[in-house]
Every structure is written in C-alpha cells, then in structure tokens.
Structure 1
Amino acid sequence: MITVKELMSNELYTLKSTNTIHQARELMLKKRVRHVPIVDKKGEFVGLLTKHDVLGASVSALADINDQERNELESNIPISGIMMTKVVFAEEDTSLLEAARFMLKQKQGCLPIFRGSKLVGILTEADFVKLALQLMEESTKYEEINNESSN
C-alpha cells in the first residue's frame, strides 16, 4: 500500500495567525505555494490558509489605489480572521488512494499530514499532478522499450 508519506511535501512554509494578508501573499508568491499551514508560538498546527482565502480578503486590484497603498492596508489585516481552523487532515500512514478519493470528493486542494500530533507534511493537488506526470513518463519509456524489442 502506498501511503501519503511517500508523496507528501515535507518542506513546509508556515505562518503564525498574527501574520498579515500581505505577508501571506508574499510568502505564497516567493515560495510558489497555494496552501500555508498556520502554527502557534510552539510550532503546533492551528489552521490553514489557502490562496483562495487570501484572494478573497485582499484589496481588489480594481480598487482605485496603487500597489503601495494596497500593501499598507493588507499589512494591517491579520490572517487570524480568514484562516480555516476546522481542517481535515490525514495521518502519514493513510493510504494514498484513500486520500486522493477524499480530496476529489470533498474538492479539497490539500491535506495537512500528521504523525501523531505533529505536522510533518502537506499533500496537495500538485503532488498528484507530479505523480501522474512521473507515471506517464515511465509508461512512455516502457512503451519505447517494448517497441524497440519487438523490432
């Protein structure tokens, strides 16, 4: 059985609930992530912030203000007001198939992954795309080898 531990991203970029929307947007852009676990002072998981949450709370680009003014406004809005605190998660030994079915059924873009009470990774849609790409590349190589050996 393949588990989520084998596919999850274990390089986590986290924020605290006191960080701001501006800081969240900067982190997401810099690290190219769409899901950020929120931790407390002890590093324990307390919630999740998604790109969708940030976009929904951000000052619209259509507003009649410049980027500097928008950044200043968003630097005063803590993410504690927009982060999700009721988050479904999985244990690292959860079946990858079970996690994939759950994410698809619930239309959930990620699953925080725990070992006991410790956050150890995050499983995202992007991880599944990488897996699909790897499997397709392996399938293509297999087909090429079979075609060469039958000639």
Structure 2
Amino acid sequence: MYRVADFMTIDPICLQDTNSLFKGRTTMKKYAVRHLPVLNNDNGNFAGILTQKAVLSNAIAIINEKGLDQLEEQEKGQSVAEVMDTDVITVAPETPLIDAAKFFKENRHGCIAVVDELKVVGVLTSGDFVKFAIKVLDQ
C-alpha cells in the first residue's frame, strides 16, 4: 500500500508566522510554489499554510485601496500570520495515499502539510498525484 511518505516533498521550504507577507510572496515566486507551510516562530510547530490564492487576494485588496506602488510597502507591514490559512487538515507520513487522494477530491485543496508530532516533514500536492499517475501510466 502506498503511503503519503512515498510521494511527498520532504523538507519543504517553510516560513515563520512572523515573516512579512512580502517575504511570503517573493519566496513563492523564487521557488515557483503555490503553497508554503508556516511554522510558529516560538516553537517551530506547524501553524498553517500560506496559499498563492490568499496572497493574490490580499495583493488585489491592497492595490485597489492603496495602489500598485504601495503593494510592497504594505506587504512588508503585514505578517504571514495575518493571511495564512489555519483551518487546514494535516496528515502523517504513514497515512495511506488513497486517504490523501480522497481528501484532495472532496476538498479541492492543492496541498496537504505532512506533520509528525507537530513538526512539518513534508508536503503533498496535487502535482505529486500527477507525477504518480504519469509513473503508473508509463509502465
């Protein structure tokens, strides 16, 4: 039986909840990712997920209210904690892959944080399932 650990991205790029939203947006761009796990700055435990959707929504609100020329400055004044999604499901590395697949289908999320004892050990994305499908179909 396949497990989440068999397909997850290990040691993902993470942010601290105290990082600026500007750092979050630029990190996503630099590494071409749409989801970043966020860690509690005090204890390093999983705190939430910063999604590209939340970052873009926030950026549009800033641009509409203050103008494009104020985007960077406003984002530097906001913490990741203000925008991240904290109402997220996590899975353990040993979770059966079929359970994670059902979660993706039912919830239409693009990423699940893989957590072991409150510490982020990986992420599983919908893209990982595409890679898996290609591998299976290619055999």
Alignment TM-score, normalising by the size of structure 2:
0.88
2:134 counterpart letter in structure 1: L
Instruction: Evaluate the alpha carbon distance shift between residue 73 and residue 117 of structure 1 in structure 2; reply closer, same or farther with a 3 A threshold.
Output: closer
Root mean square deviation, CA, Å: 1.9
1:38·1:49 contact (CA, 8 Å) conserved in 2? yes
Aligned to 1:6: 6
Q: Which residue of 2 aligns with 1:143?
A: none
Identity across matched positions, percent = 31
Q: Aligned pairs, how many?
A: 137
Q: Are 2:20 and 1:20 equivalent residues in the alignment?
A: yes
SS in 1 for 2:10: coil
Are 1:59 and 1:74, in contact at CA under 8 Å, matched by a contact in 2? no
Provide closer, same or farther for how the CA distance between residues 20 and 127 of structure 1 changes in structure 2, counting only shifts above 3 A: same
1:3 is displaced (CA, Å) by 0.3
**Deviation of 1:65 (Å):** 4.0
Q: CA deviation at 1:86?
A: 2.3
Structure 1 residues 65, 100: closer, same or farther in 2, change over 3 A?
same
The normalised TM-score by structure 1 is 0.81
1:4 corresponds to which letter in structure 2?
V
Looking at structure 2, the residues matched to 79 and 117 of structure 1 have their Cα atoms a distance apart, in angstroms, of 19
How far apart are the structure 2 equivalents of 1:101 and 1:10? 21
Specify the SS of the correspondent of 1:13. coil
- Does the 8 A contact of 1:21 with 1:58 survive in 2? no
Determine the C-alpha separation between the residues in 1 that align with 2:106 and 2:24: 28
The 1:125/1:25 distance shift into structure 2, 3 A limit, reads: same
Instruction: List per-residue Cα deviations over 1:71-112 (Å, max 9, x = no partner).
Output: 122211212111112221111111101110111111121111
Whether 1:52 aligns to 2:53 is: yes
Instruction: Provide the rounded CA distance (Å) in 1 between the counterparts of 2:32 and 2:73.
Output: 22
Query: Residue in 2 aligned with 1:43?
Result: 44
- Aligned residue identity for 2:100: A
Partner of 2:71: 70
Contact 2:63–2:70 at 8 Å: present in 1 too?
no
Give the structure 2 partner of residue 102 of structure 1.
103
After TM superposition, what 4+ stretches of structure 1 lie above 3 angstroms from structure 2? 59-66
Separation in structure 2 between the aligned mates of residue 10 and residue 60 of structure 1, nearest angstrom: 33
- Give the secondary structure class of the aligned counterpart of 1:120: strand
Residues 114 and 121, structure 1, Cα contact 8 Å, conserved in 2: yes
Report the residue type matching 1:22 in the other structure: F
Q: 1:48 to 1:18 in 2, by over 3 A?
A: same
Gaps of 5+ in 2: none
